[in-house]
Chains A and B, each alone.
Chain A
Amino acid sequence: MTHVNEAPTTPSTPGQRSGGSKVELDRLVRVYGSVRALNGFSLTIEPGEFIALLGPSGCGKTTVLRQLAGFEQLDSGRVLVNGQDISNVSAQKRDMGMVFQSYSLFPNMNALNNVAFGLRMRHQRSAQRLKKAAEVLEMVGLSDQTKKYPHQMSGGQQQRVALARALAIEPQVLLLDEPLSALDAKVRAELRDQIRLLQKRLAITTIFVTHDQEEALSMADRVCVMSKGRIEQTATPAVLYRHPNTAFVAQFVGVSSRVPSRLIGREVEIFNQRCAVRGDEDLAGRSDVDAILRPEDVAIAADASGIGFVTHKSFLGATTRLVVQVGETSVRVDIRSDDAEDLEFGDRVNVKIIARDVLVAPHVDATATP
Chain B
Amino acid sequence: MNETNKKEETTTHKIGIYLWIWGLLFVLSFFSYMVDWYQFQGLLRWSLILIFMFLKAGLIMAFFMHLFWERYALVNVLLWPMTAIACFIFLMVAEFKYTLFTRLLYFFVGG
Q: Do A and B make up one complex?
A: no
Please give the residue numbers on chain A whose beta carbons come within 8 Å of chain B beta carbons, in ascending order. none
Please give the residue numbers on chain B whose beta carbons come within 8 Å of chain A beta carbons, in ascending order. none
